[in-house]
Amino acid sequence: MNVKIYTATHLEPVFDLPVPYQFILTGDFKKEDGERLGYITHDSVENNISYKNKYYSEISALYSIKVMVDNGVITSDFLGLTHYRRFFVKDKVFFKRKKETTRLLMRYRQTS
């Protein structure tokens, strides 16, 4: 099962995230930013609304994720979105790991 939880941030990441988390940069970036930070998923996709990020916050990332799914850039069984200061955590120290996240999603899938 392929699970990705995108973590929206307007700041350049200074640490790595555990699987299944992945940063998505939000905001109106200049071309040189895209070249420098090209290794990170960002919301500057075709027909993007990244310039509206200051009004909509994480919604610009959610829109970009939808566009990338529609264009086949992102393929995943489950997608999630969280804010860089609001992670899904097990307690105050640890992220939920992929195995635990998958177990919870499968339980939800069976009840819905």
> From first to last of its 112 residues, what are the pLDDT tens digits of the chain?
788 888 888 877 777 888 888 888 887 665 556 565 555 676 666 777 777 777 877 888 888 888 888 888 888 888 989 888 776 666 655 566 777 777 877 777 766 5
**Positive/negative CA dihedral, 53, 55, 60, 62:** positive
Query: Among 104, 95, 105, 109, which residue's Cα sits nearest to residue 19?
Result: 95
Predicted local distance difference test score (pLDDT) of residue 91: 60
- Residues forming beta bridges with residue 8, ordered by sequence position: 24, 83
